[in-house]
Amino acid sequence: MKTRDKIILASLDLFNEQGERNVTTNHIAAYLAISPGNLYYHFRNKSDIIYEIFLEYEKLVDYYLQIPDDRPLRLEDLTFYLESVFDGLWSYRFFHRDLEFLLDSDPRLRIDYRAFTNRCLEAIQKIFEGLTAGGVIVAQDPSLRAAMSLNVWLVITNWMAFLKTAHGAVDLSSNLSLTELKQGIYQVLTLEIPYLTPEYREPVMTLREKYRPALPGDEWVGV
Residues with Cβ within 8 Å of residue 85, at least 6 apart in sequence: 61, 64, 65, 156
Residue ranges of domains in the chain, CATH in brackets: 1-44 (1.10.10.60), 47-220 (1.10.357.10)
Q: Is the pLDDT of residue 219 over 50?
A: no
Nearest one of 172, 153, 163 to 113, comparing CA atoms: 153
Tens digits of per-residue pLDDT, 36-64?
Answer: 999 999 999 999 999 999 999 999 999 99
Please give the pLDDT value at position 223.
45
Tens digits of per-residue pLDDT, 63-83?
Answer: 999 999 899 999 999 999 999
Q: What is the mean pLDDT of residues 141-169?
A: 87
- Give the Cα separation of 53 and 210 in Å (integer): 31
Q: What is the mean pLDDT of residues 160-182?
A: 73
Q: State if pTM tops 0.95.
A: no
SS3 73: coil
- Give the Cα separation of 5 and 3 in Å (integer): 5
